[in-house]
Structures are given as structure tokens and as C-alpha cells.
Structure 1
Amino acid sequence: MGIRRNSFANKHRDAWVEINIGNLEHNICEIQKFIKSENMKIMAVVKADAYGHGAVMCAQTLLASGVEALGVASIDEGLELRENKITAPILVLGAVPIWAFAAAQEHDIILSVFNEQHLEAAKQLFEKTKSQVRVHIKVDTGMNRIGIRTSEAQEFIQKVKAAPYLKLEGIFTHFADCENEEILNKQTRSFNELLKNVDREGLTIHCSSSGAALLGIESDMLRLGIVLWGLTPFCKEHEKMPNLKQVIALKGRITNICHIKKGEGVSYGHSYIAQKDTTVATIPIGYADGVSRNLSGKITGTLNGKTVEQIGRITMDQMMFEINDDKAQVGDIITLLDENLSINNWAKELGTINYELTCRLKVRLPRIYTR
């Protein structure tokens, strides 16, 4: 498979992201076995360019592996998939501006609705086109981000069902914290209580993101995101996890090798001082590519099968490694991330979540799809 060029800046770089499509296929297969339900649909959430993995290629792979639908965050993300001849159902999970409803209708993209402005916009559009707008109702059960409040949801659902200009296809909510049993149970009870009074005929009910799905919370459809890429959705260790493989890798070729003496400094501010005569290799990856400057001196890579330590401050476009390898040459590859170098380690160092970091790997890094 070739390189997906995201911008002119990508055409001549000695740094890239590798996406292992074989690992992605492995992960969806393992998740399907782990869930052990033949009737449950799966929506692959490919927002934010599939969490930095490349939405179009990943969506095509996942649909070929049995996924039924796709989730995105914005109308533009949905349009990118349609422009690449993806015909599967696409749901915009986030809020869509009312002036963009026409684009969604034109390209058969499903919208999330949760207020009166959405209904009025759909009504006005119907008067012009005589075509229904496909929608799912987003219910806020405690996330307090977007969604119709549960106290108002019953009336809102009936109004949407009765509207000739809307085609209601689903109702969903989102959990705030799958690892907090009290919060999770409270939201689950609230959602189930609402659904007791709803005629579910013809509707897809969904509430389970990656974390909830792995914890066994069932609905008509699972919305899977981070687990598809072989990463855990949990902050704490969980014994019961499918056998996942990290899909993303990050690599760069050595552009310079220099030999420095004991006492010499490396990078801005000479934050690293050599304790002995040593060899330093530079690769063209920096914080502008999404590798946080706060990781300076805290990460390792591999070079010719050996572990090498990053030294000195990570700069905008480059970083340096102590290599001490007489056989290393300009053009050799240093690997920063792969199946054996987990991005979870970076997340722990930064006190954040793994998928924030995959999303940070910027578009100027070309994607190469491998098996």
C-alpha cells in the first residue's frame, strides 16, 4: 500500500507514521470474539481522522471486516468519507450547525438532534426539498455536554416521531466515566428508565463506547473507537481485555550523526550534558509533529534492534538520540512507536490519555499503510 499524502509538506520527509492494517483487522476480529454477540451491530468511530490513523483507509478496512456503520464528529468528516465512495451509514455524533443540515441530507448523513432549533431547521429544509432528514436523538444522562435532558427527552422523542420531516432511526447517550461504577450505573438507570416508555420498533439504541462495551454493557449497537486501534480505553489495569495489537507506529530516518566529548551539551539550553564521550543521532521529528516537548529525555526508541534514549530538548522539527552504535549510518531508521513501544508509556509520562496523543500526530507526517 502507498503513502496517503495529506499536504504538500509531506512529499519529501524522512519521518512517517505507519498504520498496520493487518493489526486493525486483527483487533476488530478479537473484539467481535470478546463481545460474543452475533446480533449486536458495531459502529466504528472514525472521528479526528480515525484518532490520527487515517479515516478513509481505516473505515474501508473496518467495513470490509463486518462493521455496519461509522461515527464521526462533524459533517465535514462525514463528507470526506462520502467523497471517497463510502456508502455505509454515517452518524454525526456531535452538534451540526443548522445551516449544514442541507449538506447532510444531500449526502445521506445521519444527524444527532437534541433541541428545538434542530427540529425547526429540518422542517424548513423539508419544505424546500420534500425529503426527510435522518436523525438519532442524543440524550444527556449525565455527561452534561450535549443532548436533550432526560427530564425533557420523553416529550422530545414523541415530537420527533410525529414530525413528517424527520426520520428517527435511533436514540443514544454517552457515558461520562466507565470506570466509576456509581456514575456508570446512574447513567445506565436513567437511560433505561427513559426507554421503558419508548416504542423501540425500528430504532437502534446505543450507549456503549469502547470502555462500556468491554465492561459488558449491551445495547443494539456498540460505538467502538480507541480499542480498534489496539489501545486501552481504561486508566486502570483491567484483567479482561481482548488480545489487541497497537496499529500505529512512528519512525524517522537518521539525518545526522555526530560524536561529542564528555561535558558537551545537546539541544536548546544544553539540558543534556554528556557524562562521557558519546554519539548523537538526529531524526526529523519534533513537537510540531505532535511529540510533546514535555517528553524530552523521557522516551526511548529502537535502532537496529537496540534501545536508544532520546536526549536533550525535543525541538520543533527534530530530536536527538544517544546511540553508541559504531555501525549506525545516516538513513538508518529509529522507531519511536510500534507494537513493542506503546503510546501508553507516553501518555503515562504526560498524565493524559493515549488517544489524545495519536490525534496529535500531525498531518505533515505522511501515513504509510502496511500489513
Structure 2
Amino acid sequence: MRKPLLAAVLAAGVAVTHGASAAELNDMSWDDIVAQAKEEGEVTFFSWWAEEWWRTAAQQFEDETGIEVNVIIGDTGPTLNKLLAEKDRDEGTIDVIHFGGSATKTIMDASLLHPNIQDIVPGADKLDPKLSAVQEGVDVKGHVIPVYRNQTGLLYNPDRVSSPPQSWDELVAFIAENPNQFAFTDPTKGGSGQAMVQTALFNVLNDADRYEGDTELDEAKVADWDQVWAWFNDIEDEVIITASNFDSIERLNQGEVSLVVAWDDDTSIALKKGTLSPANKLYIPEMGLPGGGDTLGVVGNAPNKAAGLAFIAYLVRPEVQTQMNQMIGSYLARTDVAGQSELIPEEQRQQFGTGWVPAPYKAHFAKEFVANVLQQ
């Protein structure tokens, strides 16, 4: 339950001043940060989903430390607007924000985060090095902590696919030889469909590096995408485009198709619910498929920075990461601990998992797919 003082603060948009300055905090030992965190006594944490998990973790953290976590669930857009509106105050009203790749550019461009927390949080060196460095094309400069990962792969029925495709040419051949047995999601309805479109962009154009480092869409770099839309139109009668990530998995489980693009966490959830046969297998092909994840940051003008860091450190502890994986299916950000059933081995994730193109390109190709493929 939120403390009366904090409720009044949030309602009035006024900050309570306590805790160490940014410079002092980065020079403190971890023991001193924990002591400061207990003195602060509370954390305000924003997320947009998985409320049951965050409240469970918050209660466990409070039981262990005595530090109360006020979990607030809301859409990312209004939360970012609130952070931007409070940016120039000495202290704001949010301590820790949980965010996905699409918000990263806004957050980094506006310098909304406390710097270099990867140098502070214990165990940060055990977290996925890819997501620790770049989130959807944006250099995060050590200012964020990965909390979980998600990875797309090819999910197949081994009774019907004896030799699952590894290369782009093998996938193209599979589609031609097995009409209507390959499915992917409408990219406006699910990220697994976005993974398929991105993989086609990279392979049809034979160029996976042209978008690297961009934080804005470069029109010159999308001028030849018509070749990709032509490829999709050429195979439209040989593939199934599904209505959602889970629709793809359900069609595979029912035997309508034999190979789909799927998320690892959606697959884990379907297996847990019994809506997917455990005989089906998920893997990242050697040609690569994209993955990423979501991150945590301490807000630059947070009133409770030390307590925020302590809560983040708790969330990436091995046993808490494992509990999260079991509860909501999202895969651990840690690379030194295997998740439940480990659908995709860590070695495969590191070797074949690719990053997403910068968010402006993702948004653009989803829109262009609708206009040039679905509406044709």
C-alpha cells in the first residue's frame, strides 16, 4: 500500500528531498548504498505490464529490506510525458522506470536517467552483453540494467519437419516445397511478425548493417525496400499470415502449419498452459533472428536513487530472475543462470540472436508491409 506522504507527493507533483547526489552515489560502496536505501525507505516503480510479478517481487523485497516499493502500472507514453515534464525539477516523483526498446531513444536523448548504473549494480557483468550495450539501435551508455530478454526463433513440429531450415536459402526452399506450412504474424499485430520482416529485409537486400547507429529514419536507406515487398507478394499464396503471436503457435499446435516464427516467452507460456505440445521445438537458425528485451533505469532526479538501485539489484539476482522466468515466461537477463526448460540454449542466443533495427525503421517497415503487402 502506498504511503500517505508519497500519495500526496504524486498527486501534487511535488518532490521530497533526501538521499545522496548523483556524484556521491556513484562513488559510494555498495554497502553504503544499501544503508542509504534503507534510510530513504521507499521506491516508486513504473511499468506497463506484468503487474502480478512486479507486486510479488516488490513485497518480497520489502519483506527482506524494509524498503517499500510503490508499483504503478500505466502506459509508457504518459509515463514518459511525466518524466519529461519533471525533468528540470530538482527532484521528480519517479524513482525507477521499466521500459522497452521503443522508448529508449526518447529516454536517452532527453538524458532522463542516472548515469553509469552498470558500474554500480552487483551482478551487472553477468547480464546479457548485447542488451547491456544497445537497445533497438540506441547506445545505452551503461545507464540501464537489462531485466529480461525475449528472442524470436523458428518453432516447428519435428514429426513433420525432419530438417528445419538454418539459412535464408533453406527457408525460401522450405516455403516453396511446403506451401501454406510456414506462418508468421502480421507485423502490426506481433513482434514475431516484425522479426520475419526484418530478416527478409536483411536477406533480400543482402545488407544487415546499413541501419546500424541510426536514431532517425534515413529515407535513402529504405528506397529499395520495394524489392522486399515484391518478395513477400511473390510468396503470398504459399505462406500463412496470422493474427497474433499466439495465433501462430495455436495453428502449429493444431497441425495447420508445421513451422512458424515465435517468441521464446510466448512459447514458454503456451507450454506451461498446455496449449502447445512439448514435442514441438524452438531454435534460432544460423541465419539469425532478432531478439532484445526490456530494461530498468533510475531516473536522474529520482528522490530515492539508492533505494531504486537496491530494488534493481534485487530484480537481477539469480534466484529472483529464475522466479520471474517461471512466473511470467520472460527469459532471464542473466547469462550465468539457465531459465525454466531453457528452450533456446545460451550459446545459441549469443551466436545467432541478432539485434533489432533502430525503432524508427521497425515502425516504418510495419506500416509499409501493410500498405505494400497486406493491402495489395
- TM-score band by shorter chain is under 0.3
Structure richer in helix, relative to its length: 2
TM superposition score normalised by structure 1: 0.27
The structure that is strand-richer by fraction is 1
Considering Cα pairs closer than 8 Å and 6+ residues apart, tell me whether 1 or 2 has the greater RCO.
2
TM-score normalised over the length of structure 2: 0.27
